[in-house]
Structure 1
Amino acid sequence: MLSPPSSYSNGQCVDPLTIVQYNLYYTNPNLTPFLDYLEKNEIDLVVLQETAPWHGDRFMELIDKYPYQFGGTPGLGYPSGQMIISKQPLNLKAQNTPAGHYMISGVWQSSKHRPVSLYTAHPPSPRSEQLWHERNALIGSLERLSDYSPYADTLIIGDFNLSANTRRFTDAYQDYHTAPLQSWPREIKGLPIPSFSRIAIDHLWIRNTESPSLFICKREVLSQFSGSDHSAVVTYLSERQYKTSNK
């Protein structure tokens, strides 16, 4: 099986929306470089997995730049370890599955001044047959939930613990476009893993129909952050330019 690339680009990025996703790793002690990156760069949306409560406290340092957040509040906590911060308004809710895993769904009011349906999840790693079934069930549940998206621009984001080199990945979310990148494992017990051994499990899908206005124009692995076995991934979404008639 071919290793996925570390970057994707179709050369058509024009004033893009920028989304960063990162599995922080619950015991990650070194968030400062990542926080500095978010502070210095114009990121519209940040989707986090394996967020510990003290991680959430650190992200509050960015509240002036990212005033909207989901996760970390009393009564909600971090559903399945997830937290989302944004420069634009969020209207999200968490839904529990029978196995106890949470899906997050709702609306992100993007800087393009149009609502985007947003769905996130962190299915369990299939380390046992039971967890394998739970992962697959959660992926299916999220697909059925996203079928009811009220908006043409629909995003599904998260660490799905599903390699892009599998039939299940190919069959999932067939109405969506994605660009798998080699994001895991970055390291194991502090030892670096060569890029040819890494797989794509941190995914972003965007609905691929005739009517959406956004598409993936560029996607890159951010390998400069340490402390997690995942690399962060940045995705750029550009606005589709429709030709207008001269009549």
Structure 2
Amino acid sequence: MEVDRSAWRRGGLLALVAVLLALVIALHELVPNRWGNLGSLVATFLPWLVLAVPLLILGAAVRRSVLAALLALTPLAAWLGVFGQQLLPVEPAAYDLTVVQHNVADDNPDVERTVELLLAEDPDIVALEELTSENLPRYAAALDETFEHHTTQGTVGLWSRHPISERERVDIRPAGIHASWDRCLRAVVRTPAGEVTVYVAHLPSVRLGPRGLAANSRNRSAGLLGKAIAADPAPQVLLAGDLNGSLLDPGLAPVTEQVSREEHGFGFTFPAAFPVVQLDHVLARGAEVVDLRVLPRSGSDHRPVVARVSLG
């Protein structure tokens, strides 16, 4: 039988695209965060790049290219190398705290339903962002029936079943943002398993435009938050907040170098109607986030998350 050698020569461009895509996925940490925050942009959409594999295989079939068909699988291999661990099943683990985190959205029309959704998880701690002078009294009235202790700072708030012994403002306002911008608090919660220092933070938004990802304010705010946590002597720290970025985003490195969690699944939270990226997080230092789940939609453009936390 005569071998069609042209099948190995056709589809060179498809093969090149497949190899380049595999390199981007495998070496995403080396993509510089310049030229419109390219590194952050790649990290944001990295989980979705695997969708290019069927298109590459289809293109190889149309071109009848053996070379392109084989190399079309290299992005899949690279993707599994990055995300494969997240897809493995996780055994249930013991935990001390249940933490609910939610950007409730300043235009949320259904405060009562949102609170009902959060309380259904029987949380010990609730962290909220985008609290305004208009909606804060409604959230406080709905949550204070369950939580004896709470503190707010600017547009973020913390409700706790356990006593709050310290509370203070944390300045993460980047240069160039109005002085009224106030989006981070620090509180010490005295739980039966020991004291834990909780940060609630809402980093500046990012926008995708013709010049790439506008994330410089978010990056500067992340730097300030990372410094604050690094300087905190507390042995057990939790960070709950809308960080406006995924954990792979290099712009969040100052934060993720201080607090982290082992990821299982993808936990996309934004936009609520069809989530494509996880912006909402519960991270820890000196403690462990043993489980994190995304909850159903509330009236917000973000979905809430619930985390189970084991204290040291």
TM-score, length basis structure 2: 0.62
Compared with structure 1, are the counterparts of its residues 2 and 10 closer, same or farther at alpha carbon in structure 2 (3 Å cutoff)? Answer: same
Structure with more contact order per residue of length (Cα contacts < 8 Å, sep ≥ 6) = 1
Residue 179 (structure 2) pairs with residue 93 (structure 1):
no
Aligned mates of 2:121, 2:305 — CA distance in 1 = 14
Equivalences for residues 1-247 of structure 1 within 5 A? 1-3=46-48, 10-59=90-139, 60-71=141-152, 78-79=153-154, 81-90=155-164, 91-96=166-171, 97=173, 98=175, 99=177, 100=179, 101-102=181-182, 103-112=184-193, 114-127=194-207, 132-169=215-252, 172-178=255-261, 179=263, 181-187=267-273, 193=274, 195=275, 198-207=276-285, 212=286, 214-223=287-296, 225-239=297-311
Question: 3-state SS of the aligned residue for 2:215?
Answer: helix
Q: CA deviation at 1:145?
A: 0.7
Aligned to 1:244: none
Q: CA deviation at 1:220?
A: 0.2
CA contact (8 A) 1:11 1:218 kept: no
Question: 3-state SS of the aligned residue for 1:142?
Answer: helix
Q: Which runs of 5+ in 1 are unaligned?
A: 72-77, 188-192, 241-247
**Identical positions, percent:** 22
Compared with structure 1, are the counterparts of its residues 15 and 206 closer, same or farther at alpha carbon in structure 2 (3 Å cutoff)? Answer: closer
Q: CA deviation at 1:126?
A: 2.3
CA contact (8 A) 1:221 1:232 kept: yes
- The runs of 4+ residues in structure 1 deviating greater than 6 Å are 4-9, 128-131
Aligned mates of 1:15, 1:216 — CA distance in 2 = 8
* Deviates most, 43-52 or 168-177: 168-177
Question: 3-state SS of the aligned residue for 2:114?
Answer: helix
Compared with structure 1, are the counterparts of its residues 117 and 27 closer, same or farther at alpha carbon in structure 2 (3 Å cutoff)? Answer: same
Question: 3-state SS of the aligned residue for 1:163?
Answer: coil
Compared with structure 1, are the counterparts of its residues 8 and 24 closer, same or farther at alpha carbon in structure 2 (3 Å cutoff)? Answer: farther
Q: Which runs of 5+ in 2 are unaligned?
A: 1-45, 49-82
Q: Which has the higher strand share?
A: 1
Compared with structure 1, are the counterparts of its residues 202 and 132 closer, same or farther at alpha carbon in structure 2 (3 Å cutoff)? Answer: same
Deviations 1:138-169, CA, capped at 9 Å, x for gaps: 11111111112222111122101113343334
